[in-house]
Each structure stands twice: as C-alpha cells, then as structure tokens.
Amino acid sequence: MTTTSPRRERRLLARALVGPTVGITIRRSLFFFMLFLAVIGPWIETIGQWIPMPVYDPLRPDPFNPVSPPSAEHWFGTDTLGLDIFTRVIVATRVDFTLALIGVMLGGGLGCLAGAWASYRRGWVDMIALRIVEVVQSFPVLLLGIALFAALGSLEIFGPVDNGMAVLVIAISLVNFPLYLRQVRSVLLPLTEAEFVQAAKCAGLGAWGIVWHHFIPNARGQILALFPLTCAYAIQIIAGLSFIGLGIEPPNPEWGSMIKTGATLIVQGHWWVSVFPGAFIVLSVYSLTGFSARSETLVGPGGTSA
Amino acid sequence: MFLANRVVVLAVVLLAVVMIGFTITRSTGTPLYASLGVAVSEAIIEQRAEEMGLNEPIVVQFWTYLTHLLQGDLGVSRISRIPVAEDIALKLPATAEMVFFTLVVSFIWAIPLGVRAGLRPGGRLAKLGEGMAQFGVSVPAFWLGLLFIFLLYFLPPRINFVIPVIDLAVGPFPPLFPPPLGRLGGVDPPAMVTGFYTVDALIAGDFRLAWEALWHLILPAVTLSLTSGPPLFRVTRTAVSEALASPFVEAAYSYGLGRRTVLIRDVLRNASPPVLNLAAMTFGYLIGGGVLVEVVFSWPGIGSYAVWGMDNSDYDVVLAVVIIAAVIYVILYFIVDLIQFAMDPRLRD
C-alpha cells in the first residue's frame, strides 16, 4: 500500500540500526549521571574543594546575595534567602530519588504480591482485589496526597523519621499498589491453569510457595518494565506535593519546594529560582523513562499530570 | 443482568470511596485545635466537640456524614463559615471549564497527530507527535505553567533591542497572555447560567467578555493539555494502526473503495471508541488532577479550594473535594462503560 523509495528505505534501516540505540544510550547515561549526583549529594562541599566548582552549604543563607542571577559565583543563581541553587539542586537529587525508590518498592512490592495472590486464588479474592484497585484509582493522585497529609501530616507517629517524608512515601506506595497489582494480575491470570502450576501443586507446594516461586518470576519482565516508569511518576508526585507545601519543608532542598519558592518570583522576572529545579525534574523523569522499552504503557489517563 | 451488576458495583465503589475519604481525613486526633487554636479553655473545646458531633463513635459520624451527603450537605467550612456545597457549586464550573478547554486543545494536537502517526509511522508528523508526547510525559505541569507565564506574560513587554545592521527596533510587545490571576482580569463575571464564563458571556451577548474569558483560559488549558495529552496521542496512534492492519480495511480496499472513503468509513470509525473512552476518562481524571495548574494560575476551581482547605486545616473542604472528584471519575467511568456496552454487541454475551 505504501511505497518506499530506496533512499527512504536505507534511511529507515540506518535508523533502526543506530538511531534508537543512540537516543536510548544518551538517556541511560543521563540517568547514571543523575544517580551519580544522588550519590555524591551530601559530600558536594568536599568535592567542591578538589575541583573548581562554586558549591556552598545548601542550608546556609547568604543575606547579602538574595535572588542574584546566575553568575560565576552562583552558577544557577540564588533564591530569596540567598541559598545557592546549583548546590541545592544537586543535593535534592538524592532526596527525590530515595523517596521515590522507597515508595515504589513498598507499594509495588505489596502490589505484586497481591496481584499474584489474586490471580492464583481467582474468585472472590480476585474480585475484591479488583474493587480495591478501582476504588483507589478513582481518587486523583494529588488529592489523595492532600487527604493523606490532612490526616497524617500533623501526627508524629513515625518516630525518628521525618513526618513529611513518611507521608510522602505512604502516598507514593498507595498510588503504586494498584498499578503493580493490575499489571501482575493481567500477566499471571492465564497461568493459573498452566501445567507447571499443576505440577507444583502435585508436588505438594503450598499456595504461597507457588505464588512466590512460580508466579512472581513469570511477571518479572512486566515488573521491570513498569519500575522505571513508576519511579519517574513518583518523582513528579513528590515534587508536585512539595510544590503545594506538603512533604519536604522549605529550607531543606527538594525540587518541588524550590520551584514553589520561585513561583512568586517568576512574574518579577527572577526565572532561575524555579527553572533549574524544574529542569532537573524533567531530566530525571526523561532519563528514567529511557529504561522502559515499552514507554507506551503509561500509568493512566493523564497519568503524569502531577 | 449486566446493567444490574454494574449498578451494584457502582454503588459499592461509591460507598467505598466516601468511606475511605472520610476515614482518611477524620483519622486525625482532634481537628478542633485546628479550628479553634490552642489558647482556648477545655470547656469551649468540649462544647465545640459536642457541636460538631466529634464525641460520637466514628461509625455514627460516618453515618451522619453519609446521610447529609446524600442530601447535598457537605458540611460547613470552619474558616469562612460558608456551606461547602455552595462553594463547590461556584468552583466546580471553573474547573470543568478549564478541563473542557484542555480537552479541546488535546483534540487539536494529540488526535490529528495520532491519526497521522498511525497512518504513516516514522513520518515527520509522527516524530513530532512522539517528541511532544515524550516532552509532555517528562515535564511537570506546574513547572510548564510557570515557564509559559514567564515567556508569554512577563517577557514580551521587556523585549527591547535594535538589530544593528538593518537598524530595526524590536519590541516591546504587549504581553501575549494575561497575568496568572484567575478567570477574568478584574472584570465583573457574566450572569451565571452554566458557570462557564465563555458560554455565559456569549449568552449575555458580550463578546468582549467572552474573549477575555477565553484569553485567560488558553494558558492553563494548553499547559494541562501538553501534560495530559500524550496518552491520547498514543492511544489514537495504536488504534489507527490496528484498524489499518485489520481484515475489514483490506476487504474495503478490495471492494475498490477509495483511500479517503476507507479512511473515514472504516479506519477512523473503528479507531474512535478507545480514543473517546480515554478522552472521557481524562476529563474525569483532570477534574481533580489539575490541582497544581489551578494553583499556578490562581484558578478559582475546586483544586485550589482543596489546597486552601488544606492550608487552613479545614478538613470538611478537603474531604468534600476529594469525594466530589472521585465520584465524578467513577460515574464517568460507569457512563463510558454503558455507552461501550450499548455500542458494541460483542460485549453482550
């Protein structure tokens, strides 16, 4: 139906061989760069002494230099308190990555188990699992976060753990639980009648044994494909909640709360306060999604409107 | 049978939604200090708790809330003392209008590009669409909104330079968009009919006002559309390419029908259900999902209302918005399901 000229064909072939891999490689190296930043975060000041890079204490205000534009002393400028944005943006990488990772692992892990269990048991267990998914997913993510903060935000029930961070992790895991449950269930449902399951049953393996040893490994590919996407999504949720003042309290570096600081300044032309933290969010989300070959499977309608 | 089944499920889900929302926001120790402050005597606190029914067991409280909810009573704001239902009636149309125009913008870019990408994968427009989708997925909506405000509102009046060789003065330009301060710039809103300012102004015959309202809508709508449109683009692309590869399209071609006829009669018609389905879901989702964009543009919708309630520890407000948004989503989902069932005979066995 469509005719292809030889030139076009050659171009398509070249792209198939080189094109996508180059793009993906760039994105993956970008991710490892972000990971590197997350690792060195707390020692950024020490590193600044070895290589010529203007880094400062991310928490020490400089009252003589508030809202100064990007310069040689402050590469990304300073905010209202005179805090150096370059340093803070780097230090914040670890905060955002860690919270996203913990939240996704917690909620995703439970979701996988529940999904495998539901697809093994079927019947009413499956039905209840699906209803739970339906109910949780009918709450808009950010409103769910707001409600959680309304409930838990002022309670000091997490002991030594920072309250805002704990609630953020709970919110992220609550969002991820149904995503993983659904995905795992849809992969495993056809396997319930498979011969190896029958064999395992005959061999006397219990239900949890079958779920753990035979079901979950079969969904590994799906879980791994979902993992980077949900981490990216989690970063956006963390930043979004911090943007409305929930989660990480302002003097601590976090991308969303840094954007919040700059939100009122941007109509006065002080763009750098918000632009750089936001650019780091974009970079990390973009690099993370590079890990999923199946980036089509987005998390839901308007999935990333965080 | 199917219908009865779905209605029962709908009722159960709605009840669960209200229950979860209720328990989450009520599980705080005492919301009293939040509304009264700390410097009040025990007696006043006790009296207020009695008034608000907080001494009852939580099940009784839930029952009271539920029965009031069914009568359209969502409680009273503890700060402004205005019934929450009244506030929501004012703010929901603002959100709905923004979300509606978001979908309009998405229908302008995401769906045509998706159709094109499905028809000709690897083409220039397909790549443009994929690029926009990648961008929209990676960028946080609130940050994109701020960027737009800076580039299109703040910057144009400050562009002022002369191109040296040809001696051409450039700028200053007027701001392309209004300041991010809500639905209208200090003008009285039109008489309330639908709550959509653009429509109300047209009903009142005031074209200037309608334009003003539209002008204020564009940036929030474009921001939300760029970030919520990617799934629409991708679903359209998949649906079109699947329809194109199907046997009925091959059959249509073999009848000797023209390309255009097949495209409209077979490809687009068969590709539309999943797309419309997703569009409806996106609408339902964005009612509560556009919170941050509302905050950025000071849009007086239910999202900013929830944030306001949160900031003031006004939990009835938060609870009401959460429940309203979730209920709208669930009901839309239900309607979409019904329509699909009515349209597709294959689902009826």
pLDDT tens for B15-24 read 888 888 887 7
The pLDDT of residue B333 is above 90: no
Percent above pLDDT 70 for chain A? 86
C-alpha pair distances (Å), B297 with each of A104, A239, A254, B157, B181: 31, 18, 22, 20, 6
Place of tokens 């840094």: A258
What's A76's DSSP letter? T
**What residues of chain A score a pLDDT lower than 50?**
1, 294-306
Q: What is the pTM of this model?
A: 0.86
| Interchain proximity A304–B238, CB inside 8 Å | no
Torsion angle, alpha carbons of B195, B198, B203, B204, to 10? 90
B328: exposed, middle or buried (Cβ count in 10 Å: 0-12, 13-18, 19+): buried
Q: Is the dihedral of CA A133, A136, A139, A141 positive or negative?
A: negative
In eight-state DSSP terms, residue A193 is G
pLDDT score for A297: 40
Query: If you count them, how many residues does chain A have?
Result: 306
Q: How confident is the model at residue B32 (pLDDT cuts 50, 70, 90)?
A: low
For residue B218, pLDDT over 80 is answered with: yes
Sign of CA dihedral A78, A84, A86, A90: negative
Q: Is the pLDDT of residue B311 over 50?
A: yes
Q: Which residue in the set A149, A154, A298 is minimally distant from B230, CB to CB?
A: A298
Distance from CA of A46 to the nearest CA of B (A): 31
Give the pLDDT of residue B31. Answer: 57
**Rounded distance, CA B220 to CA B226, Å?**
10
Higher pLDDT, B182 or B147: B147
* CB-based contact B154 A275, cutoff 8 Å: no
**Residue among A2, A151, A262 whose CB faces B25 most closely:** A151
The ipTM value here is 0.85
Distance between CA atoms of residues B87 and A114, nearest Å: 40
Predicted confidence (pLDDT) per residue in B256-276, tens digit? 888 888 888 888 888 888 898
- Average pLDDT on B65-86 reads 85
Percent of chain B with pLDDT over 90: 25
Q: Determine the pLDDT at residue B314.
A: 79
Asked which of A19-33, B246-260, B311-325 is least confident by mean pLDDT, the reply is A19-33
A162 touches chain B (CB under 8 A): no
Candidate from A140, A146, A240 with C-beta closest to B310: A146
